[in-house]
Amino acid sequence: MSAARHPLAGQPAPPDALIDPEALREAYFSRRPDPASPEQAVAFGTSGHRGSSLDGSFNEWHVLAITQAVCDYRRRAGIRGPLFLGADTHALSAPALASTLEVLVAHGVDVMLAPDGQFTPTPAVSLAILAFNEGRDGSDRADGIVLTPSHNPPRDGGYKYNPPHGGPAEAAITADIQAAANAYLARSLNGVLRRDPERALATSCCHVYDFQSRYVEALGDVVDFDLVRAAGLQLGVDPLGGAGVDYWPAIAERYRLPLTVVSTEVDPRFAFMTLDADGQIRMDPSSTWAMRRLTALRDRFDVAFACDTDHDRHGIVTRSGGLMPPNHYLSVAADYLLRHRPAWAPEAGIGKSVVTTALIDRIARRLGGPLLDMPVGFKWFTEGLCAGRLGFACEESAGATLRRRDGRLWTTDKDGIAAACLAAEITARTGADPGIYYAGLTADLGEPLADRVEGPATRAQKAQLAALTAADLPARSLAGEAVTAVLDRAPGNGQPLGGIKVCTANGWFAARPSGTEDLYKVYAESFRDEAHLRQLMREARQLVDAAIA
């Protein structure tokens, strides 16, 4: 299923791998999507709508139609507060920001924008929404939009909507927005209100909001920077040319940290990146191939970290072991937080997606902390975070957020910055970097071996996979062990997984369609050995291939 590794994986991007930003922008404004083509329609996955102007899947018409649909939703939902608008450093984010403003201003929406030239990470938008809405109810509440395709290649653009709870919009909301946006596309934007883009910024609806200073100032409520500073750790960070590029120097200055920012370069081509496993440029902080620049410097730092383009994902590099797989660091963070956050309420447990390591299940059982296993998609954690039932929420794709140290809510969307800074606190308090901490965990609880593979899948095949039920997989054994559970719904909330998970005493596999690409993904984990993992993956692939043949 998975493609062979590209011969240039981990190498600097050659000139022929670089995009032409001007060609992207020209196609953004000139190309009209075909509303009859599923590949060119608006499609909200687990993290919003994504596509490329070169493919006719992320163009001016898409952004105008989606924003009109958001305005329609705001009106029906009675949301009349301001809208916090952020954008990352992808080439298509700036034109998408202008198009979004055209529609918002035409509807008289008060838009909160970062100062000119300042990019906006996803967690800063989530925090701004929650800070504004604290103590407010009803129509005065705010919401937000982030223009980002996350860690996707430089040719892509993306659009995410966060309602007043500050987290990713629920499936019902995005389905509504998606349907309305596609209807506007089919009508050639008839009904979409617009304001001339050159005058939109000059209207009284646009307000400057300093996302950066407010976020940086509040971050000390989440991470114990006094402890980090006193430990005298040498810290490093690579923003990967993303939206948090100016946040890191500000964090270092505000909390007087010995934090080296290894690069402040912003380039919409991302020419400084090393190629990912498939030969694509991808700002993925959990990829050993994409993270070669920082891992080469690991001996300079006690612990180092990176974030993806909108800074909602993290990557942790330790002196002891290099880049940590996301599941390893998430396990460390879960164990550490359950032990070292005494002000958190007893019911504030751990939330994880069903494809995240079962080591966290073992940690929760040992420490007596509540655990909620949820479907894939960070939106499923929002309610638990707001209600105080979750202290830490995470998913295996290196996304996580946590509460403030005193137990108050922080963000309801993924926060790569806070998760990365937590690694410095862990190292300072325990005297061991997260890699060493993980070794101690697995010595006590068992060491899981994990793998994830991807394969191409059409939209029809992805729909088939998403619709699988436990009855479709009547397996009694898996990789030589008795099957203990076949799940098509998440134990934490009873919602459909959008795929399937099969468990045994010492392993499991899960299969689901990608929410953002024409791929399907198979995950497997074994607490026995490499041979067992390979057998799990082999049998899982056979089952999935047969299901979508």
pLDDT in tens, 174-184: 999 999 999 99
CB 392 within 8 A of CB 350: yes
Give the pLDDT of residue 200: 80
Give the pLDDT of residue 516: 62
- CA separation for the pair 332, 183 (Å, rounded): 46
- CA separation for the pair 134, 146 (Å, rounded): 20
CB 236 within 8 A of CB 297: yes
Instruction: Give the pLDDT confidence of 444-465 residue by residue, as tens digits.
Output: 999 999 998 888 888 888 888 8
Joined together, the tokens standing for residue 319 give 């002196």
Give the pLDDT of residue 416: 98
Joined together, the tokens standing for residue 48 give 């919003």
Return the exposure string of 487-503: e unless at least 16 CB atoms fall within 10 Å of the residue's CB, then b.
bbbbebeeeebbbbbbb
Sign of the torsion formed by the C-alpha atoms of 339, 340, 343 and 345? negative
Give the pLDDT of residue 513: 87
Instruction: Give the pLDDT confidence of 507-517 residue by residue, as tens digits.
Output: 999 998 876 67
Reply yes or no on whether the pLDDT at 214 is more than 80: yes
Q: How far apart are the first and last CA of the chain?
A: 13
Instruction: Give the pLDDT confidence of 192-206 residue by residue, as tens digits.
Output: 999 987 788 888 999
Amino acid at 312: D
Pairing of strands 111-113, 83-87: parallel
- CA separation for the pair 369, 342 (Å, rounded): 12
CB 445 within 8 A of CB 361: no
Joined together, the tokens standing for residue 84 give 């916090």
At 357, which helix (H) or strand (E)?
none
Question: What angle do helix axes 416-430 and 122-133 make, rounded to 10 degrees?
Answer: 100
Across residues 52-60, what is the average pLDDT? 98
CB 302 within 8 A of CB 374: no
Strand partners, 111: 83, 206
Angle at 466 between CA 463 and CA 470, to 5 degrees: 135
Which pTM does this prediction carry?
Answer: 0.95
Instruction: Give the pLDDT confidence of 231-271 residue by residue, as tens digits.
Output: 999 999 999 999 999 999 999 999 999 999 999 999 999 99
Give the pLDDT of residue 1: 40
Give the pLDDT of residue 2: 47
Joined together, the tokens standing for residue 315 give 């990557």
Quick one: DSSP state of residue 193?
-
Nearest to 375 by CA among 494, 473, 518, 516: 494
CB atoms within 10 A of CB 302: 20
Instruction: Give the pLDDT confidence of 355-411 residue by residue, as tens digits.
Output: 999 999 999 999 999 999 999 999 999 999 999 999 999 999 999 999 999 999 999
Catalytic residues: 150
Share of the chain above pLDDT 70, in %: 99
Across residues 7-11, what is the average pLDDT? 96
Reply yes or no on whether the pLDDT at 105 is more than 90: yes
Joined together, the tokens standing for residue 85 give 């608008």
- CA separation for the pair 521, 544 (Å, rounded): 10
Across residues 305-319, what is the average pLDDT? 98
The SS3 call for residue 368 is coil
Instruction: Give the pLDDT confidence of 260-300 residue by residue, as tens digits.
Output: 999 999 999 999 999 999 999 999 999 999 999 999 999 99
pLDDT band at 3, cuts 50/70/90?
low
CB 88 within 8 A of CB 160: no
Instruction: Give the pLDDT confidence of 87-98 residue by residue, as tens digits.
Output: 999 999 999 999
Instruction: Give the pLDDT confidence of 412-423 residue by residue, as tens digits.
Output: 999 999 999 999
Give the pLDDT of residue 134: 96
- Cα 71–chain centre separation: 24
CB atoms within 10 A of CB 412: 28
- CA separation for the pair 425, 159 (Å, rounded): 33
